[in-house]
Structure 1
Amino acid sequence: MASRNRALKRILGLLTVPCPNAGCSETIPYAETSTHVKHCAYTHRPCPFSSCDFICSFKDLYEHCVAAKHCEFSDMFECGTQVFIPLGGKGIILKEETTEGEGEVVVVEWFDMPDGRIFYACCIGPGTDKFSYQLKLSLASGDHLSFNSNLQRVREVSNEPPCSRYMLVPSCMLPYRKCGICIKRETH
């Protein structure tokens, strides 16, 4: 029967190691290595767009998505500030402007359906922060339509209409003049 070596376990609990990812300068407790690697911006992952086989670190993901033209538009966002979305094409990639380190990457997509247009936003990447967002559509009639939800973290962008957390704009409300999104970091 195997027994635990409690002394060795205590020593490993005190040991810190450098992150194994090239480019990351963090040192972490040995016991937290796998958790750190899972959320590290320097861990290499496949591109989240299902039609792409490119592998890069999360740190380089935004630049790759813009260069590969996964969406026709790209822009920066600051939490709490509205960004206007150009409604040509099928989506936009947004990157968070931050003063410290890498910002989050958000994809906003829209899909034409028989009854109208679906708008959906998701956060891609390994982070643990939680975000909410508000989509606001200004209609040609002068009315406004808004939708609030939490950003779901995803590992893959499938280019398919979502099953939940989306705003449906009925065809009878078209045309609209502009659409804006305001993304907020949730604080506890």
Structure 2
Amino acid sequence: MIIQCENGHIACSNCCARLGNKCAMCSMPIGYNRCRAIEKVLESIKISCLNAKYGCKHMFCYSKKNEHEKECKFLPCLCPHSGCDFLASSEELSLHFRHRHIHSGIQFAYDKFFTIFLNSDHKTIVLQEKNDANLFLIHNNHELLGNLIHITCIGPKSKRGFHYDILARSQGSSLILQSYTKIVQGHSADAPSTGMLLIPSDFFGSGQIKLDIRVKS
């Protein structure tokens, strides 16, 4: 929304709030009278998405910019392979990883348990689903009490997450986590406040643990 002061100077509604409803040009009160003529001009101007170079072809008026870019499926994502700086939409990234780094990730199928062996000092392991090629990351953060494990999915912010199960066993004891993947745009991710599996250090034995994992479609 565009607002004008009594002298005709204009500002958007967000700026009015930051300015304390005083015009930046003349200090007159501002924030009560809409300037519909300028609003119509802005609505008629079409702009392209910031992610146009990654494949987005959408054109929209400026007022829709933030709304679109929050949902844009072409938001660039960084390749999770160590040392690779490939940046592209999640769809292009999945194809890139399948062709360039196929042997550095673990292939799996939705809704079926599969087994991995995780070293206590492994930071991340890349997973790629066999059919839709979606990329997932197992994150392993070492803490005083043990290792915190969680899974994320690489994709745009609008992408839906996936339910998953992690099962860890050691000397007759079992630990189970049922959680939901956070969506990230690269290999780094902040540890979530919930939805992590704490594996005590003694579960790792010789420095490695067997995990059974299932990602649900």
Which category of TM-score, normalised to the shorter sequence, fits these structures?
Answer: 0.5 to 0.7
Q: 1:96 to 1:120 in 2, by over 3 A?
A: same
Gaps of 5+ in 2: 1-7, 11-34
**For 2:192 and 2:52, how far apart are their aligned partners in 1?**
37
Quote how far apart the aligned CAs of 1:126 are. Answer: 0.4
What does residue 60 of structure 1 align with? 92
**How many aligned positions are there?**
175
Q: Distance in 1 between matches of 2:36 and 2:82?
A: 44
1:102-113 superposed matches below 5 A:
104-113=134-143
User: Which structure features the higher share of helix residues?
Assistant: 2
Structure 2 residue aligned with 1:133: 164
Amino acid at match of 1:133: Y
Q: Secondary structure at the match of 1:86?
A: strand
| 2:33 corresponds to 1:4 | no
CA contact (8 A) 2:54 2:88 kept: no
More strand as a share of residues: 1
The answer for the alignment partner of 1:95 in structure 2 is: 128
The higher-RCO structure (CA 8 Å, 6+ apart) is: 1
Structure 1 residues 60-96: Cα deviation after superposition (integer angstroms, max 9, x where no partner): 2235456469x94322331x33232232572322234
For residues 154-174 of structure 1, give each alpha carbon's deviation from its aligned partner in whole angstroms, at most 9, with x where no partner exists. Answer: 234338x83633211112334
Distance in 2 between residues matched to 1:163 and 1:20, nearest whole Å = 31
Q: CA RMSD in A?
A: 4.2
Bigger-Rg structure (1/2): 2
Equivalent in the alignment of 1:166: 196
Per-residue displacement from partner, 1:22-80 (whole Å, max 9, x unpaired)?
656x76876756544554444444446796543222222235456469x94322331x3
Cα distance in 2 for partners of 1:94, 1:63 equals: 14
> Which of 178, 182, 187 lines up with 1:152 in the alignment?
182
TM-score for the superposition, normalised by structure 2: 0.56
Runs (5+) with no aligned partner, structure 1: none
Contact 2:166 2:214 in 1 (8 A): yes
Cα distance change, pair 64–110 in 1 and its aligned pair in 2 (3 A): farther
Cα distance in 2 between the residues matched to 1:162 and 1:27: 33
Cα separation, partners in 2 of 1:76 and 1:8, compared to 1, 3 Å: farther
C-alpha separation in 2, matches of 1:73 and 1:22: 24
Q: Secondary structure in 1 aligned to 2:166?
A: strand
Q: Percent identity?
A: 22
SS at the partner of 1:172?
A: helix
In the aligned structure 2, how far is the partner of 1:43 from the partner of 1:162?
A: 22
